[in-house]
Each structure stands twice: as structure tokens, then as C-alpha cells.
Amino acid sequence: MRCRRWMSVVSVTVLTAGVALGQLLPPASDDVKLRITQQEFDEDAAGRAQKAHAEALAKQFQVEPQAVENLQTLKQGWGEIAIRMGLAQELVKTDPKTYPSMTEALQKVGDLRAQKISWGEIAKSLGFQLGPVVSEVQRVRQEMRAEAKKAATEDVVSPGKVMGRAPAGKASKSDRLEKAQQPENPERAEK
């Protein structure tokens, strides 16, 4: 009995300490959130064809696939490309006179990134907050994951068709022909 009480006290203490510690940790910075999203983008792309991934990313940021392919030739990871696109998109929104197109904005972001400047510093130097970029890049990732999942399951399961079989209750023409050609069960005839 004493052992059970002691275990209860210990588990409550550990649980309380964990909750308190969680409340003491500061929220992750936008730079950290972007680095995590960058890694997730790279992981998501692992099983996907590069051309399909480039086209999906271009569609999300409303640019020509060639813009994504150009960044890819610079040996950029998918997460890096998505963040660059997000920053360029925000730059076009906040400073359309200086950067009227994504091409010009991408060039500016690329120039700053080549100087080994963090994402947060790039956003700050361009005159906007990193938060909206984080939200946009995370939204794009979720959209791309949903589209990839839909495309992957479209061929496997569709209404009225499960793994190449006809709907339950309806035999296909080949099933009906096969059944018609089967001999009658001799045991049935005797009964």
C-alpha cells in the first residue's frame, strides 16, 4: 500500500514539474519555426518525383515551374526553396514598386541569403515581419501534403471501386461468365 502512495506522489510531482517546465519555456522564434518547416518540407519531398514536387510548389506560390527549377539547380533543398518563395512573395506584397515580380524579389532574397544572413534578418532588412512568411510557408506545406495524399489515394480507392474490384453486390462480366461455366455441385442434385 505504501508503495502505491509513493508512486502516486512521484507521478503527480513529475507531471506537475513537466507542466510547469513547459510553461517556463519561451515560445519558439519565427526563425526556429522556419527551420523546422524547412526540414519538414525536405522530408515530405523524399518520396515524391522532383518534377511533380516542383510543379506543386510553383502552383502554390503562383510562379512558373521554371522559377522553382532554377532554384533547384542551385542545389537548394525543397524547404529552402519554399522559404525563399515565401519571403519573395511577402516582398512583392510589401514593396511592389521596387519588386513588381517574383523574379526580382527572388533575386533580392537570394542575394541576401548568399551573405549567410538568417531568415529573420532578411525579413527585417526588407522591411517586414517574419511571422506572415512562417504562416504562409506552413500553409503551403499543408496544402502540398493534402494534394500529395489525395493523388496517392485517388488510384487506389475511388467511389464504386476498391482496389480494382467491382462494388459489392455487383459481379463483373468476367465473374458472371466464370460462374456460368462452373459445373453444378453433384451433392446438391442428390438432396
Q: What is the pLDDT of residues 96-110, one digit of tens each?
A: 999 999 999 999 999
Residue 80 sits in which domain range?
28-153
Q: How many domains does the chain have?
A: 1
Please report whether residue 178 resides in a domain: no
Please report whether residue 89 resides in a domain: yes
- DSSP class per residue in 77-124: -HHHHHHHHHHHHHHHHH-TTT--SHHHHHHHHHHHHHTT--HHHHHH
Please report whether residue 172 resides in a domain: no
Which one-letter DSSP state was computed for residue 128?
S
- Predicted TM-score (pTM) of the model is 0.66
Position 84: which residue type?
A: R
Please report whether residue 112 resides in a domain: yes
Please report whether residue 164 resides in a domain: no
Please report whether residue 131 resides in a domain: yes
Please report whether residue 95 resides in a domain: yes
The three cell numbers of residue 54 are 516542383
| pLDDT at 86 (0 to 100) | 95
Res 95 pLDDT > 90: yes
pLDDT grade for 28, boundaries at 50, 70 and 90: confident
Low-confidence winner among 38-42, 74-78, 119-123, 163-167 (lowest mean pLDDT): 163-167
Please report whether residue 191 resides in a domain: no
Dihedral through CA 139, CA 145, CA 150, CA 153, nearest 10? -160
Residue with cell 510547469: 20
* Residue 26 to residue 116: CA distance in whole angstroms: 26
